Amino acid sequence: MIVPIASDHAGFEAKEKAKKILENLGHTPVDFGTHSPDSVDYPDYAIQVSEKVNSGEHNLGVLICGSGQGMCMTANKYPNVRGALVYNDNAAKLTRQHNNANILCLPGRELSDDDLESVIKVWFETEFEGGRHDRRVKKIHSLTDKK
């Protein structure tokens, strides 16, 4: 799967590691920046990945900043995006199973290398359960359908 990925300066190092993890899982990461640890504004990078997922061009994406929160807030401004801020394996599993999250938002300064690898692996290998969860996800989307 082609996976758009981006970070700000605080997530740059983790993004470089995440790209290798994705490749090892058989995915093809497409890097939308930033391409150095020099200070940048995270929304500029979150927008690029979020637009790709929102339009349906890509099914899943990854965003990384220092806390993960700024990227997540930006991503969730798009009506077809369900960005999930994930700090551990359980959250990775549940945000895919129950929320059908389609953008993984990671805290680049908070996860060890082993935790980063584990979270990405769990998130990408977990499928949406559907059923009662589908009804709930549709209710989330109904909020933007009314505007």
The catalytic residue positions are 65, 98
Query: What does the block give as tokens for 48?
Result: 């690029």
Query: What does the block give as tokens for 8?
Result: 């700000």
List Cβ neighbours of 32 (8 Å cut-off, separation of 6 or more): 4, 5, 6, 45, 48, 49
Rounded Cα gap, residues 111 and 115, in angstroms:
6
Q: Is the dihedral of CA 110, 113, 116, 119 positive or negative?
A: negative
